[in-house]
Structure 1
Amino acid sequence: MKLIKLDAIDSTNEFLKGLSNKQELDNFTVVIAEKQTKGKGQMGSVWDSEEGKNLILSVFIKDPLLNVNQIYNLNIAIALAVVTALESFNIPELSIKWPNDIMSYNFKIGGILIENSLKSDGTVSSVVGLGLNINQTNFENLPKASSLAVICKTQFDKEQVLFNIIEKIKQNVDLVQREPQYLWLQYTERLFKKGVPMPFKNKFDKNFMGIIQGVSPMGKLQVLLEDDSVSQFGIKEIQMLY
């Protein structure tokens, strides 16, 4: 694993994408930063992080997929890698809030953003961004956010957490092609609020009740509605009200 450490950067994902365009990168090249000024989340949302307290990283993964139809397999592999790595530190009540938020209890402790590049030969390379709240304790105006330190009432070694996560990512990327069914089973079992009646809001700001059933192969959330039908929703088409 090649590790590039930066004090500050606009975005580790943008830095790593730029680097991959200029030179041939080793698989699992990792960029970490103590401060990120323009961190990105899903669909252009912003990821804020207190300087020096958290893990801000991006990983370059070379050709993890056989074709573009497997893109969501990588999402579940990465989310699972983060959760299983954190389980080794005894972080309680971990789950994955669709599509890629890492939760402990009802609090968001991390977020994942994967950006894929399709090559002319049909192969896909990926830059995986992860923001994980480690030792930050102040979450003013962020009532649904927390960190490992707040939840476990102790400080953590960021580098140790990093190496555990990268090791799990390597293992799961290997499983993407060999045993994707295993990854899907583990991911579905860890889905946040799966099987629990929950209020939702759709893209028209209409509230409704539903029960999460799982996620489709293309990454859409499957929700059982009150009329016993199952509908599928893409990112930004549905919001869970929890």
Structure 2
Amino acid sequence: MQMPAILKQLLMLLADGKFHSGSALSVAVGISRSAIWKQLQALTDLGVELIAVSGKGYRLGHGLVLLNQAEIEQNLHPPAQALLHKLEIHDVLHSTNTYLLEQARQGGVSGQVCLAEYQSAGKGRRGRSWVSPFAQNIYISLLWRYQDGPAAIAGLSLAAGVAVVRALRALGIHEIGLKWPNDIYWRYRKLAGILVEVSGESGGPCYAVLGLGLNFYLSPQQAEIIDQPWTDICRIMGDADSYQLRNKLVGLLLNELLPMLANFSSSSFSHYVQEWRTYDCMLARDVKIVIGEQSYLGKVAGINDDGLLLLEMPDGSVRSFASGEVSVKAL
């Protein structure tokens, strides 16, 4: 779904980061000043950070770069270009994952990629919502079909974590860690989350939709509802112009995620397990594992070759946990 043209026009006028008076915006867009105020309020409702100063007008609280298909594709390597079937960029969606799941049910093919500037119902694992301000982060989902059942692609979300780390390192960001099963951290602060949703017959063909929500820039106000330590690309890189790398990072992510999805049925998680272990930021840390009404305390002992979490219990025994509805909290 695309944003109303008048809102997009206002965004483009404000994208220079300078103050614009209500009168000037009114003339440029061709509507009354009171209508301008209502349109600016609509932008605020989408999570656009606006600053209003009496006598000066309005400006964006942070730089703005919209997703651009041509710029994304300029950063694609030939293997990713060959695997990319279709790239869609939406202004507003309920959820990129939900959208591609529906496309898959209607016959969508491997290599379909969906991006959104804003998600009205972005989601994470275990039904959690994902903070999704307009044009400030990266919300991307990819569809891939497999000939075997869901059991054959176990560990896919962990492999995706490795692919995301590779892309971030290609952007020049290091000190990235992975928190089992599908969170990406920087210095123990959450940077991104992965959600893989699989559908199909237990022994037959299936399809997977891999979704990634990555914080590129979050204002303090937008981050207030996040209940854990967090960070974003702009804070990590410490550059006021880092937001200009948004399209480049999408290209780098596709360079890693598309080949991973395409090759996973033949290479499986075994191809990624050792690298995943090098990024494990919870290793040897005390944690609390929650499964429904039950909880377990112990020390993380890494993952086994199948990607299950290993927990050293207080009595010295080691238990393994599959991802499913498991929640892992550092103590």
Q: Match for residue 55 of structure 1?
A: 138
Per the alignment, residue 79 of structure 1 pairs with: 161
Take 1:41 and 1:169, find their aligned partners in 2: how far apart are those partners?
Answer: 18
- For normalisation by structure 2, the TM-score amounts to 0.66
SS of corresponding position for 2:117: strand
Q: Residue 144 in 1 paired to residue 232 in 2? A: no
Once the 2 structures are TM-superposed, how far is the Cα of residue 205 of structure 1 from its aligned partner? 6.8
Task: Give the length in aligned residue pairs.
Answer: 238
Structure 2 vs 1, CA of residues 231 and 54 (structure 1 numbering), >3 Å: closer, same or farther? same
Q: Which residue of 2 aligns with 1:113?
A: 195
From 271, 274, 277, give the equivalent of 1:185: 274
Q: Name which of 213, 238, 243 aligns with 1:153.
A: 238
> Which of 256, 274, 294 in structure 2 is aligned with 1:168?
256
In the TM superposition, residue 216 of structure 1 has moved relative to its aligned partner by 5.9
Q: CA deviation at 1:237?
A: 4.0
1:232 aligns with 2:320: yes
SS of equivalent residue, structure 1 residue 140: helix
Instruction: Please give the TM-score of this superposition, normalised by the length of structure 1.
Output: 0.88
Q: 1:222 to 1:48 in 2, by over 3 A?
A: same
CA distance in 2, matches of 1:172, 1:60: 12
Question: Once the 2 structures are TM-superposed, how far is the Cα of residue 4 of structure 1 from its aligned partner?
Answer: 0.8
Distance 1:21 1:35, change over 3 A: same
Kindly indicate which of the two structures has a greater share of residues assigned to strand: 1
Q: Which moved more, 1:90-99 or 1:69-78?
A: 69-78
CA contact (8 A) 1:13 1:128 kept: yes
Asked if the contact 1:91/1:104 (under 8 Å) is kept, the reply is no
The aligned amino acid for 2:187 is: Y
Q: Distance in 2 between matches of 1:238 and 1:96?
A: 15
SS in structure 2 of the partner of residue 163 of structure 1: helix
Q: Gaps (5+ residues) in structure 1?
A: none
In the alignment, the residues of structure 2 paired with residue 89 and residue 137 of structure 1 have an alpha-carbon distance, to the nearest angstrom, of 22
Shift of 1:238: 4.5
Based on CA coordinates, which of the two structures has the bigger radius of gyration? 2
Q: How do residues 87-126 of structure 1 correspond to structure 2 at under 5 angstroms?
A: 87-119=169-201, 122-126=204-208
2:320 and 2:261 map into 1 onto residues whose CA distance is 26
Sort the Cα spacing of 1:150 and 1:117 in 2 relative to 1 into closer, same or farther, 3 A.
Answer: same
State the Cα RMSD in Å.
Answer: 2.3
